[in-house]
Each structure stands twice: as structure tokens, then as C-alpha cells.
Amino acid sequence: MTRTLLTLTAALALATPAAAQDMFIDNATIVTATDVRPDTDIEIRNGRIARIGANLRASEEVPVQMGGFVTPGLFAPYSTLGLVEIGGEASTNDIGSEAEGSSVSELAADSFNPYSVHIANARMRGVTHAVVAPSPDGDSIFAGTGIIIDLSGDFGSVIDEAAFVHVAIGQRGAGLAGGSRAAAMAQLRGALRDATRTYDDPDDGDVLSRADAAALRPAVNGRIPLMVSVSRASDMMRLIALKDEFSRLDMILVGAEEAHLIAGELASADMKVIVDPQENLPASFDSVNASFDNVLILQAAGVDYAIANLGALGVSKAGTLNQHAGNAVGNGLSRQAAFAAITDTPARWFGLPTNSLEVGDAASLVVWDGDPFEVTSAPVAIMIDGENVGTDSRMRRLRDRYNPLSNSTQPHKYR
Amino acid sequence: MKSKTALFLCSALMLSACDGPNGNTKEETKESVTFELPQAFPSTYSAQPSETVLIRNARIIDGTGEPTDATSLMITDGKIAAIGADIDGGDADVIDADGGFVTPGMIDIHSHLGNYASPGIRAHSDGNEITSPITSEVDAEHGVWPQDPGFDEALQGGVTTLHILPGSANLFGGRGVTLRNVPSRTVQGMKFPDAPETLKMACGENPKRVYGDKGGPGSRMGNVAGYRKNWVKAAEYKKKIEAGDEPTRDLQLETLAGVLNGDILVNMHCYRADEMAQIMDLANEFDYKVTTFHHAVESYKIADLLAENDVCSAVWADWYGFKAESFDGIPENLPFVHAAGACAMIHSDDQYNIQRLNQEVAKAWAAGNRAGLDISKDEAWQWLSTNPAKALGILDQTGTLEVGKRADVIIWNGDPFSTYSRPQSVFVDGARLFDVEQRIKPQSDFRLGTEVER
């Protein structure tokens, strides 16, 4: 019965886009980064949250959606969404470039494709916002400049075109810089100094061209974060030391498997951290201390952290955000902390409004059929900035075409 | 088994000392012999000491696919001694599961633990003999490092048996090996006693990409031609031996002849539906059987064909998109294949994924039911232990909780279909190798002294 109702709602959403911005969510548990409100009804009119309360009645002609859980959309703090269609096919892959003499000024915004199939595939799993990061390649430790997107899948979806600069140090940076950590750090330090100098000639810089130095300047000034891929504790300590010379740097450390060894130092230095709570193996000599306890210790020490899937296989990562956060809960993190780490925390870092689902807000939310941390749960309705974006995707269409319950006698290509 | 091996060696190596009582020599009469696969590197596995224990008050998923009324399970001498509603445990230690779940130990049919060990340094890359598209002579067990810390973490995730395969660069990648997930200084000490031999083969993009500039294959056409040429050779080799000829022992062809003889189970990396259909025709041409397609991202498109041919699919829940042949992956693959009556199971292919195979199954199970199927948890559990055991030829020994089988058992702290649940105790042959409360867990040599005390 419930399923029929949901299907009807979805069908209606597709058929009449105007009315789709109205929705009555009946008897849901609202979960946000700050609170949990059980047994609550929500009415959305014209894309805005019109009413929230207990035992409300749906206004006439507003489609009713059976609630399970309602949350703000999830915010993937690290992804490659829109930069790559098929990882192994270079022709479809703009994650990194080996171009010589260019680095920071390569803009992910130029590569980003809002029509990538992976955007809808991740969205139907509850992700509505994402950091999109290029990866370093070639001979520069700098990957380029990343963006913040929503997953509406249209051309308005880039929220911030120059949101952060991504760089790699440690083992990866050493490989790019010529073979040692010292070379990587020398390149980073030289680049940061270049970003503060005046160029009379395009080749004035020690490390960066004039264009790259200009692109790095907002990061040196702390106006946008410098995102640093790093794993080993000793490398993170050297990054903290970098603040002696560049005090305004706003660093976000990605990976940070050994952060728990220096949690106090990271907290004191206001270092932000993106961790994957499922990283527990010594994947390299940079992370021999990887542990499930990492995120728990960061929480206890007051480190400002977000949670991401940093594991294998790029494009499928963003869609499993709830599982990775849920596993942190399974290992002892509080649900509220884990939820903040995949919603409000990355939003706050990049200057987006946090989302506590209040009356008057443009509806940006996900209705789940169960606890959003459970791998068995899935979204049944999704709104981004007041727009009902549905749960359609390429995956969903393949599913429907090959569903064994289909009673179509047509060849699959006609289904 | 020993005498059979000797017989083969005689015929293969023409040792005159092996001549029978009648003193026949090969010039005089060629007696037809049966092809017997030689055995080497025997298992030295011996179980850790078993507990005598009665687990009570449990919600048991037994792996048979059917719900059970049993709430108690008795372990004696490494075996499941009894399972039922009301068991007299005698002097056995009693574990009150307090209504918690008890399941069979999980089995991963596709792992590279040990042959791509952590840390992932170049020295630990021992899983793929990327020197020729035909390397059926190599064996994964010779590349397994028993100190891979990944084994220990997989055990804590409830994996009690795992199948280590060579990588997928080659058309014929080499033999796989089935291991017990137990502490051991040697690979032989982990080898599942008498588990059938296996062969890894690979379809599609990998072989043609790797060898396209190195003499081929450079296309899917070349892939299939490469399989066929070598099956022809293998059939001739086998025929020679059976005719009483004594060809020089050829390790490549010996493995392939073992497949043709039905002694070696074919595990084939294959993503695309159309390609799997062609491989099933190939198997018919040379009269062998593909036991399991691995990755099989598009199995859902030909689930009926797979059921008809009795071929299993070992799949991920939701990995897709990293190669063109994985572009059409959907989370419903596993349940859709199952719903068509074909054998399906989860696999990891990954040192992290192997630590939560239950969650991967839960994801696929929920996606299938959301698409309209009605699969119970008891039924879906078969994707975690029963079907992989069947595909590896060890279902008579493990994979379900049935009397007489090896006591490979997990006690959970919650529903294994929940993100929040974890194994609390893991028994392998009745030995408690992991236990949260008792702080029992293995630790690889590598971890000693590399981890910093906080």
C-alpha cells in the first residue's frame, strides 16, 4: 500500500512539475545535525516549508508522502562527481591533468558536467550537495581549483566556482614532486610564497606561473580553504608548522588516517579534517596507524571533521556516504555527530547556509523509507532548494527495464 | 589419492621404475589411463583447539534459505554437534546470545588478501603475473603473504573462508586457492583441506588493454581466439595422456586439462551480459563448465541464461562505472539474478569491502525488495555463505549451520542486515578466533611495533 502511494507521488511529480513543488510529508522523524523531531508532519507549498507540526492535515490537492525519516540532503565533502564518466576511459576523465606548467589555475568548473549520469545515481541515494575535487597528476603537487555543487543536475548547480585549492603532500606529493617529501613541501612552500609576491614577469615565481600564483592567492589569504591530501602524522605536523609563516591558511586535511595520533595538535591549530571511518588498514607506510578509532578520537578532541568515502572506485563513492557515516556510528560515534559530519559541517566550511529544516526555508530535504544510516534505507523523495528532483536515475531505468517482475513481452530495447 | 598421483607421474615422466608387474614398455603397448591431476603443496591445516559450547537463545539464520525454529547450537570437536530449539548441553560452556543473531561464517569467493597485501607497496604486488596472457601455470597460493593485516580485519568482519584469485590481466590467470581465515605462519597452514582446485580466467577489457601493445590479444575477438587455441592444446594434451602417451609435463596445459577433466572449477572475471553468453558457448564447445562469473555486473540482463546453464554470479552490491564494461551496474543485480533462479552471491575483491560483506548484501537485498521482490533475510543470507560454499565445492563442509559441518559460526551484536551490527564472536572449526568481550583477536607481525601507542 505504501509502495503504491509512493509510486503515485513519483509519477505525479514527473507528470506535473509545477504541482511537484508541493508535498505533505505525513508522520516522519526529522533528523538534522542539531536535533531529532519524531512524529512530525511537514507541508511544503511552492517549494517552501510552510508548516511543521504534529497531527497536521494535508491541504487539499497536496500530494501526501508517507514519512519515514526526513533529513537535510547529504553533503559529500569529497567527490569527483561531474568530472568523470568512466574512470578507465581517459577521454571521459577530467579528474587530473599531466599538463606541464599549469596547476592551481586549472578549474574543475571548466570540466564539470552537470549531466553526468553519476550525479543522479548519487542523488537517488540522498546526496544533494558535494565538494568536487580535481586530483593532482603530472609533476605538480597541485591538482587545481575545486568547486561546490548541488546535485540538481542542471547548469545552475555550481554553487561556488572557486571554492578551494587541492594539493597533495606525503607519499603522493613526494611522488609528484620528484621523489621526496622534502621536495613536495619545498614546492608547497615556494608556491605559497609565490602567491604573496608581485609578478613583473610571468616567470617571476619560484614554483608557480603568474596565473597559478593568482589562483592560489585566495587560499594563502584564507579566503578559500587549501585542501591537502595527507595521511601520515608527521606530514600533518609539518602542515601545522606551515602556519607559522602563513597564518591565514585555512587547511582541510583529506585522508588523515593518522590524525588520531595528533588530535590535540590538530584541534589547537584549527585544522579541519575529512576522514573515512572505514579506513582501518595500513594501506601504505603513510597510514600504518589507520584505525576505526580515528574519528572517535577526533570527536573527543574537538577536531572539526567531516566524513567521506575515500575508498576505491571514484564515481560510486559519493552514493555510499550514509553507509560510511553509519559505520562510524556502529563503531561508537554519536548519531548526531556522524550526521553533522555529512551535512552541516562541510556546508559551514564552504560558506553555505546550514540546514535545520525550519518553516520558511526553501525545502532542501530527503524523505527516507527508514533510518538514513541503514544501508537498507533509501530516499523516496528529494527536494533541492525548493525543487522536487525525484529519484530517477540511469540506474533506476536499467533496473526498471530488467526487473524480473516486469510483465512486458517486448524486447528489452522497447521497454 | 597418492597412488593416483604416482600413476600420473609414471605416465607423464616415463619413469622406468614405474613399469607394471608385466614389465611393459611404452613401445610395446600403450594402455589407456585416466587423467589425474597431480597434487602439490598439500594443506597442513590443523584447526585451533575447539571449544565445547552451547549457544542459546539465538535468532539463527542457518544458511539453508529457510527460516528455522532452532534457537540453540552446540559445538563439539570443531563441528556443529546439534542445532535445535532445546538442546541439552551437558558440561558445555553456555553462551546466552540474548536473542541476538547467529549465522554461518561468511565466505568471500573473490579476495586478493595476501597477494595484494597491505601496505600496498610494490613489493606486495604478487597477484597478477602480467608477463603473458596465458599463465595457467601460476598459482595464487605462491603469492600469498600470510601476514597481510587484511586477514585479521576480515576475520573480525566475520569471514571464515576465502578464495584468493590471481588478477584479471590474463586470459588464463592461474590457479586460485581456498583458505581458512586462521592464524598461520604458512599458506599451507591456511589451505582448506581437499577444497577443489580453481582456475581464474578473464574476459573483456583487461586482457586486451594489457596486451594490446604486447602481441595481443588486442580485442575481444583476440580474447576468444586465445581461449580457443589453448583449449585445443589442452584437449590434445589430455588425450595424449589418456592414450598412454607420456608427454613432457606441461604446467600450463595440466591446469587446463584439469578443467576439461572436471577437477578444476573455472572462475571467470566477466562483466558484460553478451560476453558471458559467448563464454557459455565457448564452454559448450570444449565441454567444460564455468562455475562462477565474477563481477558479473550485467548478470541481471541474462539471469535466465545463467539459470539455464547453472552458472553462478559473484557480484558487488553497487560498484560500477570505473570501466565501460561496468557502466551498467545496478544495486539490484544480486537479487534480480537470484529471483531468476540462478545462483548468486556477494564478493569483495577488496580489503575493505571484505570487512562488511553483510552490509553489501543488506544493500542489495533491500534494493531488490524495493523493486518489488519479496526475498527474506534467511533467503538472502545464502549470498554470504551458502552459495559461495557451493561455488567453491565446499558446501558439504561449511556454508550452513547443519549438524556435522565445520563449526564456522558468527555471534552478532545485532541484526547482520544493519549498518550498526558487528560480529561479537567468530568461531572457525569451533575455535574462538575473535571475541570482542574476551579481547581475542589476531595481530599480524606487520602490526607489531609499527603501530604507535597513543
Question: Would you list the DSSP string of A387-414?
Answer: EE--S--HHHHHHHHH-TT----S-GGG
Chain A within 8 Å of B448 (Cβ-Cβ)?
no
**Main-chain phi, psi angles of A131, to 5 degrees:** -80, 130
**Main-chain phi, psi angles of B184, to 5 degrees:** -160, 145
Q: Which residues of B touch A319 (CB under 8 A)?
A: 318
Measure CB to CB from residue B120 to each of A280, A283, A315 and give the nearest one: A283
Q: How confident is the model at residue A345 (pLDDT cuts 50, 70, 90)?
A: very high
pLDDT at residue number A99: 78
Q: Do B323 and A282 touch (CB under 8 A)?
A: no
Q: How confident is the model at residue A100 (pLDDT cuts 50, 70, 90)?
A: confident
pLDDT score of B114 more than 80? yes
Chain A within 8 Å of B125 (Cβ-Cβ)?
no
Q: What interface predicted TM-score (ipTM) does this complex get? A: 0.94
Chain A within 8 Å of B269 (Cβ-Cβ)?
no
Q: How confident is the model at residue B324 (pLDDT cuts 50, 70, 90)?
A: very high
Task: Calculate how close chain A gets to B338, using CA atoms only, in Å.
Answer: 10
Measure CB to CB from residue B119 to each of A282, A297, A327 and give the nearest one: A282
Which of A172, A260, A313, A373 is the best mutation test for B, with the most CBs of B within 10 A?
A313
The answer to whether residues A376 and B417 touch, using CB atoms and an 8 Å cutoff, is yes
- First CA to last CA distance, chain A: 25
Domain of residue B321, residue span: 105-408
Q: Which residues of A touch B319 (CB under 8 A)?
A: 312-313, 316
Measure CB to CB from residue A281 to each of B121, B351, B421 and give the nearest one: B351
pLDDT score of A348 more than 80? yes
Mean pLDDT for the stretch of residues A58-86: 95
**Main-chain phi, psi angles of B366, to 5 degrees:** -65, -40
Interface of B with A in 333-372 (CB under 8 A): 336, 339-340, 350-352, 355-356, 359-360, 362-363, 365-367, 370-372
Cα–chain-centroid distance for residue A339?
A: 13
Whether B416 is in a domain gets the answer no
| Element holding B378 (H helix, E strand) | helix B377-381
Q: E strands of B325-441, at which residues?
A: 344-346, 409-412, 423-428, 431-435
Distances (CA, A) of B211 to A360, B171, B205, B229: 61, 10, 10, 17
Could you tell me which residue, A85 or A314, shows the higher pLDDT?
A: A85
Measure CB to CB from residue A315 to each of B121, B321, B454 and give the nearest one: B321
Whether B436 is in a domain gets the answer no
- Chosen CATH of A2-72+356-402 out of 2.30.40.10, 3.40.50.300, 1.10.10.10, 1.20.140.10: 2.30.40.10
Q: Which residue has the cell 614532486?
A: A177
As a whole-number percent, the residues of chain A with pLDDT over 90 amount to 89
Mean pLDDT for the stretch of residues B280-287: 98
Q: How confident is the model at residue B17 (pLDDT cuts 50, 70, 90)?
A: very low
| Element holding A254 (H helix, E strand) | strand A251-255
Q: Do A288 and B301 touch (CB under 8 A)?
A: no
Whether B249 is in a domain gets the answer yes
Which of B330, B421, B422 is the best mutation test for A, with the most CBs of A within 10 A?
B330
Kindly give, in sequence order, each residue whose CB lies less than 8 Å from that of residue B123, ignoring residues fewer than 6 positions away.
none
pLDDT at residue number A289: 98
pLDDT at residue number A11: 43
pLDDT at residue number B10: 37
Strands B423-428 and B106-111, bridge-based pairing: unpaired
For the four alpha carbons of A266, A267, A273 and A279, in that order, the dihedral sign comes to positive
Distances (CA, A) of B235 to B14, B38, B419: 20, 17, 49
> How far apart (Å, rounded) are the C-alpha atoms in residues B269 and B205?
10
Strands A387-388 and A379-384, bridge-based pairing: antiparallel
pLDDT score of B392 more than 90? yes
Mean pLDDT for the stretch of residues A299-307: 98
Distances (CA, A) of A200 to A102, A205, A209, A214, A220: 19, 10, 11, 13, 20
Task: Calculate how close chain A gets to B380, using CA atoms only, in Å.
Answer: 13
Grid cell listed for B70: 532452532
Per-residue model confidence as pLDDT tens digits over B184-235: 999 999 999 999 999 999 999 999 999 999 999 999 999 999 999 999 999 9
> How far apart (Å, rounded) are the C-alpha atoms in residues B14 and B99?
63
**What CATH code is carried by the domain that includes residue B238?**
3.20.20.140
Whether B268 is in a domain gets the answer yes
Per-residue model confidence as pLDDT tens digits over A136-150: 988 899 999 999 999
Reference A384, options A164, A33, A134, A119; nearest CA is A119
Q: Do B363 and A376 touch (CB under 8 A)?
A: yes
Report the amino acid identity of residue B245. D
> How far apart (Å, rounded) are the C-alpha atoms in residues B143 and B140?
5
pLDDT at residue number B8: 40
Number of domains within chain B:
1
Per-residue model confidence as pLDDT tens digits over A361-371: 999 999 999 99
Task: Calculate how close chain B gets to A161, using CA atoms only, in Å.
Answer: 26
| Element holding A192 (H helix, E strand) | helix A181-194
> How far apart (Å, rounded) are the C-alpha atoms in residues A303 and A264?
8
Per-residue model confidence as pLDDT tens digits over B367-381: 999 999 999 999 999
Q: Which residues of B touch A89 (CB under 8 A)?
A: 323-324
Q: Do A316 and B351 touch (CB under 8 A)?
A: no
Residue in A closest to B454 by C-alpha: A261
Length of chain A, please?
415
Reference A229, options A285, A148, A147, A167; nearest CA is A167
Distances (CA, A) of A219 to A129, A135, A204, A227: 22, 17, 20, 9
Kindly give, in sequence order, each residue whose CB lies less than 8 Å from that of residue B54, ignoring residues fewer than 6 positions away.
B72, B73, B74, B75, B87, B89, B92, B93, B94, B95
Whether B29 is in a domain gets the answer no
Q: E strands of A265-395, at which residues?
A: 272-275, 304-307, 365-368, 379-384, 387-388
Q: Which residues of B touch A285 (CB under 8 A)?
A: 119, 121
Q: Which residues of A touch B368 (CB under 8 A)?
A: none
pTM of the model: 0.94
Whether B209 is in a domain gets the answer yes
Measure CB to CB from residue B454 to each of A118, A261, A369 and give the nearest one: A261
Q: Does domain A74-349 have CATH number 3.40.190.10?
A: no
Which of A2, A402, A403, A405 is the best mutation test for B, with the most CBs of B within 10 A?
A402
Q: Do B454 and A284 touch (CB under 8 A)?
A: no
Measure CB to CB from residue B303 to each of A287, A404, A412 and give the nearest one: A404
The answer to whether residues A33 and A325 touch, using CB atoms and an 8 Å cutoff, is no
Reference A321, options A71, A42, A52; nearest CA is A71
Measure CB to CB from residue B371 to each of A86, A233, A399 and give the nearest one: A399
pLDDT at residue number A67: 82
Reference A78, options A147, A157, A21, A154; nearest CA is A147
**Main-chain phi, psi angles of B258, to 5 degrees:** -65, -35
DSSP 8-state code for residue B143: G
Q: Across all residues in chain B, what is the average pLDDT? A: 94
> How far apart (Å, rounded) are the C-alpha atoms in residues B379 and B365?
10
Q: E strands of A169-236, at which residues?
A: 226-230
Per-residue model confidence as pLDDT tens digits over A5-54: 444 444 444 444 445 699 999 999 999 999 999 999 999 999 999 999 99
Whether B91 is in a domain gets the answer no
Q: Do A403 and B371 touch (CB under 8 A)?
A: yes
Mean pLDDT for the stretch of residues A341-364: 96
Q: Which residues of A touch B340 (CB under 8 A)?
A: 404
> How far apart (Å, rounded) are the C-alpha atoms in residues A46 and B380?
42
Report the amino acid identity of residue A365. L
Length of chain B, please?
454
DSSP 8-state code for residue A17: T
Q: How confident is the model at residue B16 (pLDDT cuts 50, 70, 90)?
A: very low
Q: Across all residues in chain A, what is the average pLDDT? A: 93
pLDDT score of B61 more than 60? yes
pLDDT at residue number A314: 60
CA atoms within 13 A on the CB side of A87: 17
Whether B19 is in a domain gets the answer no
| DSSP code string of B268-279 | EEE--HHHHHHH
As a whole-number percent, the residues of chain B with pLDDT over 70 amount to 94
CA angle at residue B311 from B310 to B313, to 5 degrees? 135
Q: Which residues of B touch A126 (CB under 8 A)?
A: none
Q: Residues of A301-327 as b/e, b for ≥16 C-beta within 10 angstroms?
A: bebbbbbbbbbebbbbbbbbbbbbbbb
Measure CB to CB from residue A87 to each of B118, B321, B336 and give the nearest one: B321
Measure CB to CB from residue A402 to each of B300, B320, B331 and give the nearest one: B300
Chain A within 8 Å of B443 (Cβ-Cβ)?
no
Distances (CA, A) of A22 to A5, A127, A383, A403, B274: 16, 21, 10, 30, 44
Q: Which residue has the cell 559530519?
A: A341
pLDDT at residue number A374: 98
Q: Do B419 and A330 touch (CB under 8 A)?
A: yes
Strands B101-104 and B59-60, bridge-based pairing: parallel
Reference A192, options A228, A155, A236, A153; nearest CA is A228
* Chain region(s) in chain A for CATH 2.30.40.10: 2-72+356-402
Q: How confident is the model at residue A313 (pLDDT cuts 50, 70, 90)?
A: low
pLDDT at residue number B27: 52
Q: Which residues of B touch A326 (CB under 8 A)?
A: 419-420
